Amino acid sequence: MFNRLNKCIKILGIKKKSTIKDIANVLGLTPSAVSKALNNHPRISDKTKIAVKQVAENLNYQPNHLASALRKGKSNLVGVIIPRNNSNFFSSVLENIEEVLNKEGYNIIITQSNESYKKECNNIESLLYTQVDGIIASLANETVNLEYYEKIKAKGIPLILFDRGENDLNVDYVGIDDYLSSHMIIEHLVSQKCKRIAHIAGFSHSRIYKNRISGYRDALKEYNLPIEEDLIIESNLRIEDGRRIMEGLLNLPKRPDAVYAAGDYAALGALQVLKENNINVPNDIALVGFSNEPFTSFVQPSISTIDQKSELIGKLAAEAFLNRIENPSIKTTLNKIIVDAELIVRDSSNRE
Amino acid sequence: MFNRLNKCIKILGIKKKSTIKDIANVLGLTPSAVSKALNNHPRISDKTKIAVKQVAENLNYQPNHLASALRKGKSNLVGVIIPRNNSNFFSSVLENIEEVLNKEGYNIIITQSNESYKKECNNIESLLYTQVDGIIASLANETVNLEYYEKIKAKGIPLILFDRGENDLNVDYVGIDDYLSSHMIIEHLVSQKCKRIAHIAGFSHSRIYKNRISGYRDALKEYNLPIEEDLIIESNLRIEDGRRIMEGLLNLPKRPDAVYAAGDYAALGALQVLKENNINVPNDIALVGFSNEPFTSFVQPSISTIDQKSELIGKLAAEAFLNRIENPSIKTTLNKIIVDAELIVRDSSNRE
DNA sequence: CGGTTTAGTTCAATCGTTTGAACAATTTAT
DNA sequence: ATAAATTGTTCAAACGATTGAACTAAACCG
């Protein structure tokens, strides 16, 4: 049967993929010599190395990753799990993770959870199955149960979290200081003479949104502004949430004079409602968002926001992984890298 | 040395990953029986299957993908190459490719070319190295030389192109009819009584933009409108390109009364300039973009655009791959799937 | 010239799974 | 009762690359 197959191959002129064995045959060497030559093993003569590489080129040889990964027990693949791909923040993080890891010979497998916990579990399952050497992830909003992530830790491969998931697991984390970012926003709004600042918040079960809320509260206290619970509303932070909540705020007996939304999409929804009601932004009500989505710069008025330093976060997350993989023995305490975010003041909060 | 390692493992309580061999030992079977049991081989008794699965569960067994892929000569991995990840179109296509392929047991490896030909080549290289079973790609704008893609074909694995790359290689393609889409836009603008329609075009070396240009030209002819070469300007279609070109158009002795931009970002740039010049959109100058980026719906005025049916394109691309992989022998003529795009009329071109 | 290095290579086992062939045990058909 | 078919399992050879140990020459040293 084999002979027949080979005959077919010959007749049809299909080149079967060449292996080190083929190279060995051509040169009258053993496969192991070829393997060593290709890997620049010191015990192989330069003459042989050159000859092997030449033949490899001619035969269009491509090493079989599966075989070497199996033997070496290392796939050089890193899994990345992100909630969704349509935000600028994540695509920028990805780009930078990829850049750093590619340089070190790793490839990344990107998977999206679409903010679904179930999808996230599936993703972990299939990444582990693919034998990735590590996982870099940002948790879905929905994710509360962390059993699956424990599974990764149990496997003994590095797990790095970024943006979402701080403290939730005892693993490396890279993110901005959400508490401080909120503080910066309030400080700025106060400097613009705002006195009643509402907060369109994210759900407080997610640590980052919780931190933004407490940063908001503490900053208000610091500036001796009263905390009014009706001015703090949690939501999913989509455009429609921003709209709904802004409408509610406008219907209050005493309207706020500033709105801090914990996400840019919610800020956009709020802005739409404000414009529809002919409310002057920023003079009647000032507005600040969060994330520096591209559209914040080109809507009218442009929206002040927090830049989360996605490039840096991507780079640091990748480096954290490399660190772990290179020193697996060193059970250092978990590494929490907090990057300083930047407040970008635009028209929506810049009063004359 | 091995004994020492095992001792370490025992002492430290580190569970080494369990293999079919471990399961076999527990049950007093051979690894092959276990393998067959796990794969529901008909020749294995139900009793054994149940026992094996039970033990597998207990040992927290996870099949080693590398080993099975190596043996089976199939990785169940599909590579996807996209130009950049920050557009809604691509992230939506990805989501749908993933959905269809996951169901069939495939995982996808996403790589971004960042519109760079060199990056694209690297991506192809590493995808092939990872032994993907197929590649689904949309070409970078820069890509003219297709040597690397020929390499994929030479390997004998399926290659499916979408959006960018129609006709350029003799392979399966999924995309919308750009020519017809242009035609729809012109038809609509004519119905709005526009007489001098400018075209902010993409570079005509890319087939899709070329088709949009010829669709534009032919439609003008059909409606007996003159074709003025100064009203057709090619660019990269970024916001700043749209701005620059719109400024140029406004400085013409005779301004156009409509602008059709081959990309939404360019349309946005144009819109900004129009607003800055207090030109009424759509009544003085009507505007239509292309791609249905989310922001087109929430800027003011909202921008009319073409929806490229990203969900459908993703699904069809994935299905085209599955088709090829399931019938590798059938050298059917190449499959060109053209999806009908949809014109979404919004405020920027809807005159009262 | 015998003994020790050193360079260059081959040998053989291994990674974990799959798979056709072979074998033994049991059942069914004749 | 014997042949044939069926069932359940083991055997052994792959898949392609890697790697330490072993082996053979040639080179070097005293």
User: Each residue of A217-251: pLDDT tens digit?
Assistant: 999 999 999 999 999 999 999 999 999 999 999 99
Residues 105-144 on B with a CB inside 8 Å of A are: 107-112, 114, 122, 126, 128-131
This prediction has a pTM of 0.86
CA–CA distance, B191 with A105 (Å, rounded to integer):
56
Contact A95 B114 (CB under 8 A): yes
Contact A313, A162 (CB under 8 A): yes
Give me the CATH topology for the region A178-308.
Rossmann fold (3.40.50)
| Number of CB atoms found within 10 A of residue B27's CB | 16
Give the confidence band of A15 by pLDDT, cuts at 50, 70, 90.
low
Q: For residue B164, what pLDDT is reported?
A: 85
Residue A4 tokens read as 């027949």
CA–CA distance, A268 with A272 (Å, rounded to integer):
6
Q: For residue A265, what pLDDT is reported?
A: 95
Contact A340, A174 (CB under 8 A): no
Give me the CATH topology for the region B74-175+310-339.
Rossmann fold (3.40.50)
Cα-only R_g, chain A: 27
Contact B70 A67 (CB under 8 A): yes
Listed range (A173-187, A321-335, B38-52) with the worst mean pLDDT? A321-335
Query: What is the length of chain A?
Result: 352
The nearest CA of chain A is from the CA of B179 a distance in Å of: 28
Query: Chain A to chain B, count of Cβ pairs less than 8 Å apart?
Result: 102
Query: Distance (Å) from CA A157 to C1' D13?
Result: 33
Q: Above 50 in pLDDT, residue A2?
A: no
H-helix segments, B80-206: 88-103, 117-129, 147-155, 178-191
Contact A92 B86 (CB under 8 A): yes
A64 in reach of chain B (CB within 8 A): yes
Name residues whose C-beta falls within 8 Å of residue A176's C-beta, 6 or more positions apart in sequence.
Answer: A306, A308, A309, A313, A338, A339, A340, A341
Residue A235's nearest CA partner among A214, A215, A195, A265 is: A265
Q: What letter does residue B106 receive in the DSSP assignment?
A: -
B38 in reach of chain A (CB within 8 A): no
Q: Which H or E run includes B268? A: helix B264-276
CA–CA distance, B36 with A72 (Å, rounded to integer):
26
| Number of CB atoms found within 10 A of residue A335's CB | 14
Give the confidence band of A12 by pLDDT, cuts at 50, 70, 90.
very low
B275 in reach of chain A (CB within 8 A): yes
- Among B69, B85, B300, the residue with its CB nearest the CB of A94 is B85
Domain boundaries defined on chain A? 2-63, 74-175+310-339, 178-308
CA–CA distance, A171 with A23 (Å, rounded to integer):
45
Task: Return the SS3 of B136.
Answer: strand
b/e A112-151 (16+ beta carbons within 10 angstroms → b): bbbbbbebbbebbebbbbbbbbbbbbbbbbbbeeeebbeb
Residue A35 tokens read as 């393997």
Collect all residues of chain B within an 8 Å Cβ-Cβ radius of residue A275. 300
Residue A193's nearest CA partner among A315, A285, A57 is: A285
Q: For residue A3, what pLDDT is reported?
A: 37
What is the full DSSP assignment across B143-167?
----HHHHHHHHHT--EEEESS-TT
CA–CA distance, A204 with A144 (Å, rounded to integer):
12
Q: Above 50 in pLDDT, residue A352?
A: yes
Q: How far lies B138's CA from each of A37, A84, A129, B120, B133, in Å?
A: 37, 20, 28, 10, 17
Query: Domain B2-63 sits in which CATH superfamily?
Result: lambda repressor-like DNA-binding domains (1.10.260.40)
Contact A78, B126 (CB under 8 A): no
Q: Above 70 in pLDDT, residue B68?
A: yes
Give the pLDDT confidence of A297-332 residue by residue, as tens digits. Answer: 989 899 999 999 999 999 999 999 999 998 876 666
B69 in reach of chain A (CB within 8 A): yes
CA–CA distance, B107 with B116 (Å, rounded to integer):
25
Listed range (A140-149, B87-96, B217-226) with the worst mean pLDDT? A140-149
Nearest chain A residue (CA) to B119: A99
Give the pLDDT confidence of B287-329 residue by residue, as tens digits. Answer: 999 999 989 998 989 999 999 999 999 999 999 999 999 887 6
Residues 211-270 on A with a CB inside 8 Å of B are: 239, 268
- The overall longest dimension of chain B from CA atoms, in Å, is 90
Query: Distance (Å) from CA B41 to C1' C29?
Result: 27
Q: Using the CA of A33, give the nucleotide whose C1' is nearest.
A: C9
Q: For residue A330, what pLDDT is reported?
A: 65
Listed range (A5-14, B164-173, B232-241, B335-344) with the worst mean pLDDT? A5-14
Query: Distance (Å) from CA B71 to C1' D13?
Result: 12
Collect all residues of chain A within an 8 Å Cβ-Cβ radius of residue B109. 107-110
| Number of CB atoms found within 10 A of residue B309's CB | 21
Cα-only R_g, chain B: 27
Is it true that the peptide bond before B328 is cis, omega within 30 degrees of 0?
no
Q: What letter does residue B171 receive in the DSSP assignment?
A: S
| Number of CB atoms found within 10 A of residue B349's CB | 28
Contact A33, A49 (CB under 8 A): no
CA–CA distance, A171 with A156 (Å, rounded to integer):
12
How does the average pLDDT of chain B come out, rounded?
90
Query: Distance (Å) from CA A46 to C1' C4?
Result: 25
- Among B66, B94, B122, the residue with its CB nearest the CB of A85 is B94
Query: Distance (Å) from CA B37 to C1' C28?
Result: 26
Residues with CB under 7 A from strand D: A 17, 19-21, 31-32, 35-36, 38-39, 43, 61, 63-64, 67-68, 70-72; B 28-33, 36, 41, 43-45, 47-48, 67, 70-71, 73
Residue B222 tokens read as 């059909």
Contact A176, A183 (CB under 8 A): no
- Please state, for a pLDDT cut of 90, what percent of chain B lies above it: 72
Contact A20, A37 (CB under 8 A): no
B213: buried, middle or exposed (CB in 10 Å: 19+, 13-18, 0-12)? buried
Q: Note the Cα B350 to chain centre separation in Å.
A: 31
Collect all residues of chain B within an 8 Å Cβ-Cβ radius of residue A300. 275, 299-300
Q: Do domains B2-63 and B74-175+310-339 have the same CATH topology?
A: no
The nearest CA of chain A is from the CA of B186 a distance in Å of: 27
Q: How confident is the model over B200-229, as a mean pLDDT? A: 95
H-helix segments, chain A: 2-12, 20-27, 31-38, 46-58, 65-72, 88-103, 117-129, 147-155, 178-191, 207-222, 239-250, 264-276, 295-298, 310-326
Interface test with B, best of A110, A112, A125, A271 (most B CBs within 10 A): A110
Name residues whose C-beta falls within 8 Å of residue B231's C-beta, 6 or more positions apart in sequence.
Answer: B196, B197, B198, B199, B249, B256
Bridge partners (DSSP) listed for residue A332: none
Give the pLDDT confidence of B245-287 residue by residue, as tens digits. Answer: 999 999 999 999 999 999 999 999 999 999 999 999 999 999 9
Beta strand extents in chain B (DSSP E only):
77-82, 107-112, 134-137, 159-162, 172-176, 197-202, 232-235, 258-261, 286-288, 305-307, 336-339, 342-344
Nearest chain B residue (CA) to A89: B86
Q: Which H or E run includes A80? A: strand A77-82
Contact B272 A17 (CB under 8 A): no
Q: What is the identity of the amino acid at B163?
A: D
Give the pLDDT confidence of B107-129 residue by residue, as tens digits. Answer: 888 888 888 888 899 899 889 99
The nearest CA of chain B is from the CA of A187 a distance in Å of: 29
CA–CA distance, B149 with B136 (Å, rounded to integer):
11
Q: What letter does residue B261 receive in the DSSP assignment?
A: E
Q: For residue A150, what pLDDT is reported?
A: 82
Q: Above 50 in pLDDT, residue A8?
A: no
Collect all residues of chain B within an 8 Å Cβ-Cβ radius of residue A17. 155
